[in-house]
C-alpha cells in the first residue's frame, strides 16, 4: 500500500459566521497524490470552506453570479449536512432535489442544480476526489417565451407614475429607458452617473452576456426627465458617495450603493398592478417589446440584433417571434389583402 505523507500545523484563528464567531483550530493538511491521482480535500476542511474558495474564483469573472451561487450552495449544505467534499454522493443530490421540489418551481430547481453541477465540476477539474458532476442531471423544463409589452400597456404604466418626487421619478426613468433602448435590467442597474452626458441622448454600456460595448439611445422626452433626475441625484451623491445612476432607499439603513435587478422588478410590478394590468409584465418583457416594436417599424434584423446586443441573429429571431394575438391580427390582415 502506498503511504501518504501528512504534515499538520495548528494555530488558533477566528471563523466568522453570519451571526456569531467562535474560536477554532486551523488544521492545514498537506497530502501527496494518492493512487487514483486525486488530491485529498482533507476531512478537517468542511464544505463551507470549499464553497468560499469556489466563490472567490467565481467572483473573478462573475461577481453578481457569485452572490447568488452562495445562497444556493448554502441551502445544499443545510439540507445535506456540512461534511468533507468527498463524502457527498448521488444520494445527497436526490435528497436536495426532493427538497427543492417541495419549495420551489421548475426554473429555480434547474438553476439550483446548475450551480451544484458547476461547483463539483470546478473541484473535479482540480483533481479533487468528489462527486462526479455527470451524476447531477438537469431537470427538463419547457421554456416559456417572455411576453412582449405593448405600446398601449407601456403608455398606461408611464401615465400612472408621478414625476414630482425623487423615487417615482427614478422609477419612471428606468421604465422609459427599458422601453426606449431594450436594455437588460442588469445592464440598466450597472449604469453609472459618469456615463450620462447632458448633451447626449445616448451612452455606451457593456453588454452583459458577452462583455462587448454597445450604444443605447433614448428619446428627448426621456432625456428631459433624466436631466431633472440628475440634478437631484448629484446632490444626493454627496451623501451616498455611490457611483451608480440608480440608488434605492432602505429605510433606517439609508441609501443603497446601487439598485438591484430584483428591486427594479418589484417596482415595475407595483405600477403594473396600480394601473390594473392583469397580464404578467417583467423587465425582460421590455426587451421583447423593443424588438417587436422595431420589427413592426420594419427595422432591419441587423439593427435589432445590435440594439439587443446579440452575437447571433438566431437569438434575435427568438425575440421577434409573433405571439398568438399578433399572429391572429396579421393573419386577418393578410386574408383581407388576398
Q: What is the pLDDT of residues 86-126, one digit of tens each?
A: 999 999 999 999 999 999 888 889 899 999 999 999 999 99
Kind of pairing, strands 21-30 and 202-206? unpaired
Range 135-165 burial, b when 16+ CB lie within 10 A, else e: ebeeeeeeeeebbbbbeebbebbbebbeeee
* d(C-alpha 130, C-alpha 152), whole Å: 54
Compute CA 59 distance to the chain's CA centroid, rounded to the nearest angstrom: 13
Residue with the bigger pLDDT between 156 and 331: it is 156
Average pLDDT over residues 278-296: 94
Question: Which CATH code, of 1.10.150, 1.25.10, 1.20.1050, 3.40.50, is assigned to 41-143?
Answer: 1.10.150
**Whether 245 contacts 195, CB under 8 Å:** yes
Instruction: Write the DSSP string, 141-201.
Output: ----PPPPPPHHHHHHHHHTS--SSHHHHHHHHHHHHHHHH---HHHHHT-BGGG--TT-S
CATH class label, 151-283 = mainly alpha
Residue with the bigger pLDDT between 320 and 11: it is 320
On the question of pLDDT at 68 being above 70, the answer is yes
**Whether 9 contacts 25, CB under 8 Å:** no
Residue ranges of the domains in the chain? 41-143, 151-283
Exposed, middle or buried by CB within 10 Å (0-12, 13-18, 19+), for 69? buried
Average pLDDT over residues 284-297: 94
* d(C-alpha 112, C-alpha 101), whole Å: 11
Q: What is the pLDDT of residues 149-166, one digit of tens each?
A: 999 999 999 999 999 999
Q: What is the pLDDT of residues 186-226, one digit of tens each?
A: 999 999 999 999 999 999 999 877 778 999 999 999 999 99
**Whether 242 contacts 254, CB under 8 Å:** no
pTM exceeding the 0.75 threshold for the entire prediction: no
The overall average pLDDT reported for the chain is 84
Cα Rg of the chain, angstroms: 25
Amino acid at each position: 500500500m502506498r503511504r501518504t505523507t501528512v504534515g499538520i500545523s495548528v494555530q488558533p484563528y477566528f471563523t466568522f459566521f453570519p451571526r456569531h464567531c467562535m474560536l477554532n483550530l486551523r488544521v492545514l493538511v498537506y497530502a501527496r497524490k494518492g493512487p487514483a491521482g486525486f488530491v485529498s480535500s482533507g476531512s478537517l476542511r468542511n464544505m463551507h470552506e470549499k464553497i468560499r474558495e469556489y466563490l472567490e474564483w467565481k467572483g473573478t469573472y462573475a461577481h453578481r453570479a457569485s452572490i447568488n451561487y452562495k445562497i444556493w450552495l448554502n441551502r445544499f449544505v443545510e439540507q445535506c449536512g456540512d461534511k468533507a467534499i468527498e463524502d457527498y454522493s448521488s444520494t445527497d443530490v436526490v435528497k436536495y432535489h426532493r427538497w427543492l421540489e417541495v419549495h420551489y418551481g421548475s426554473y429555480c430547481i434547474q438553476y439550483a442544480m446548475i450551480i451544484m453541477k458547476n461547483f463539483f465540476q470546478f473541484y473535479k477539474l482540480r483533481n479533487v476526489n468528489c462527486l462526479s458532476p455527470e451524476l447531477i442531471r438537469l431537470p427538463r423544463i419547457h421554456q416559456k417565451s417572455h411576453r412582449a409589452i405593448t405600446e398601449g400597456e407601456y403608455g398606461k404604466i408611464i401615465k400612472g407614475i408621478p414625476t414630482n418626487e425623487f423615487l417615482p421619478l427614478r422609477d419612471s426613468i428606468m421604465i422609459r429607458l427599458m422601453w426606449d433602448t431594450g436594455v437588460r435590467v442588469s445592464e440598466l442597474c450597472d449604469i453609472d452617473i459618469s456615463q450620462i452626458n447632458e448633451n447626449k441622448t445616448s451612452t455606451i454600456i457593456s453588454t452583459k452576456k458577452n462583455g462587448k460595448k454597445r450604444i443605447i439611445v433614448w428619446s428627448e422626452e426621456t432625456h428631459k426627465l433624466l436631466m431633472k433626475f440628475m440634478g437631484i441625484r448629484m446632490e444626493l451623491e454627496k451623501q451616498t458617495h455611490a457611483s451608480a445612476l440608480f440608488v434605492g432607499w432602505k429605510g433606517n439603513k439609508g441609501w443603497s450603493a446601487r439598485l438591484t435587478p430584483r428591486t427594479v422588478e418589484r417596482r415595475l410590478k407595483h405600477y403594473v398592478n396600480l394601473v390594473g394590468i392583469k397580464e404578467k409584465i417583467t423587465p425582460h418583457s421590455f426587451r421583447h417589446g423593443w424588438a417587436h416594436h422595431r420589427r413592426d417599424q420594419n427595422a432591419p434584423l441587423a439593427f435589432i440584433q445590435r440594439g439587443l446586443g446579440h452575437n447571433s441573429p438566431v437569438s434575435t429571431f427568438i425575440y421577434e417571434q409573433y405571439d398568438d394575438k399578433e399572429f391572429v391580427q396579421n393573419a386577418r390582415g393578410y386574408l383581407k389583402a388576398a
